[in-house]
Amino acid sequence: MFALPLGDNAQLRPLEPWQAQEFLDHIDRARPHVDPWIPWATFSTDLASATAVLQGYADQQAADTRRIYGIWRDGTLVGGVMFTKFDAASGVCEIGCWLEADGAGRGLVTRACRALIDWAFTERGMSRVEWSVASGNTRSIDAARRLGMTRDGVLRQRYPYRGVRHDSEIWSILSEEWAPGAEAPAAEATVAEATASDVKAELDGLMRTFLGAFTNTGGSRPNVGVVREVFIPQGTIVSNAGAEPVVYDLDAFIEPRQKILTDGTLTEFSEWEVAERTEIFGSIAHRFSEYRKSGFLDGAWFEGSGHKTTQFLRTPAGWRMSSLAWDDV
């Protein structure tokens, strides 16, 4: 049975029905981290249902329509990748991924997905690899970006989940855009370089998510609560734009901003980075950013700019912000 090394004591291997108990144990650990983004948390609740999920993939692999693989780190199943759709006749396939908290922040999914994409293009002659993701799943969107994919569009209210219809974003990469074998973990040095690149990409994603949490342009609803997801629970945010610093915990920061972004006080608002410098030191990192912002405040258009300094920590759930301070120009 093949095992593809991913670095960091991890391997990519087939995930088969006889491993259903191990799969179920893993899903029980991963459930809080992956729900509602993937169906395993809903469909794999006992040994019978977990076996059925893996048996379904085994049957579909025999028909050359779907495949599933697990990621093991230090001998423990921590996640996986799969072809959720594989249509050799049309030359189009779709890949997906999932990961429990203990496997996050190490670049494992990125390297595993690269292996699947490389095989699809170079061995099977596929023309297009797709990535379908719920619009709120920022981790998966960041993974698509790291893989060099392009956002094709949004399918509005594409599917229901627990009584709510969700939008799906479609990302893709074409065979002519793919460099065969690029960034394969052939040696420890290559793995280290890929890991550093993956960490930087993860930090970029955290900053995009943080800034995007306040956007309410075009009638969109801000998602200020996502700040809790990108920060550690004890995180602090400091405004140094006035005469004295104002220090917030997460709740004190989120609540007033949620209000003004939804009660008509601040509309058509967006904030974005225009320059940054990021330094990574093992399991800690620092970022210095220049940003701009614009919108209507009490009906009057304004534009502004400023600087942010952000500290990051690698946690069992992946990289998170620990503190952020800003000063408006």
pLDDT digits (tens, 9 = 90+) for 10-53: 999 999 999 999 999 999 888 877 766 676 667 888 999 999 99
- Whether 298 is covered by a domain: the verdict is yes
- Whether 32 is covered by a domain: the verdict is yes
Instruction: Indicate if 24 and 164 belong to the same structural domain.
Output: yes
Shortest CA distance to 12 belongs to which of 184, 128, 138? 184
pLDDT value of position 194: 40
User: Using one digit for the tens of pLDDT, what is the confidence trace for 230-282?
Assistant: 999 999 999 998 889 999 999 999 999 999 999 999 999 999 988 899 999 88
Residue 53 belongs to domain with CATH number: 3.40.630.30
Q: How far apart are CA 87 and CA 85, in angstroms?
A: 7
104: confidence class by pLDDT, cuts 50, 70, 90: confident
Q: What's the predicted TM-score (pTM) here?
A: 0.57
CB-based burial, 74-111: b 16+ in 10 Å, e otherwise = eeebbbbbbbbbbeeeeebbbbbbbbbbbbbbbbbbbb
**Domain end call among 123, 151, 186:** 186
Instruction: Indicate if 213 and 182 belong to the same structural domain.
Output: no
**Domain end call among 186, 216, 239:** 186
- Whether 199 is covered by a domain: the verdict is no
pLDDT value of position 185: 38
Instruction: Indicate if 30 and 123 belong to the same structural domain.
Output: yes
Instruction: Indicate if 151 and 297 belong to the same structural domain.
Output: no
Q: Which amino acid is at 180?
A: P
- Whether 194 is covered by a domain: the verdict is no
Q: How far apart are CA 11 and CA 107, in angstroms?
A: 12
User: Using one digit for the tens of pLDDT, what is the confidence trace for 157-207?
Assistant: 887 776 778 788 899 999 998 876 544 433 333 334 445 667 888 888 899
3-state secondary structure 99-118: ECHHHCCCCHHHHHHHHHHH
Instruction: Indicate if 175 and 253 belong to the same structural domain.
Output: no
Q: Which amino acid is at 278?
A: T
Burial class of residue 171, CB neighbours in 10 A (0-12, 13-18, 19+): buried
More confident residue, 12 or 105: 12
- Dihedral angle over CA of 207, 194, 175, 138, nearest 10: -20
Instruction: Indicate if 35 and 123 belong to the same structural domain.
Output: yes
Residue 250 belongs to domain with CATH number: 3.10.450.50
Query: Which domain covers residue 15, as residue numbers?
Result: 4-186
Number of domain units in the chain: 2
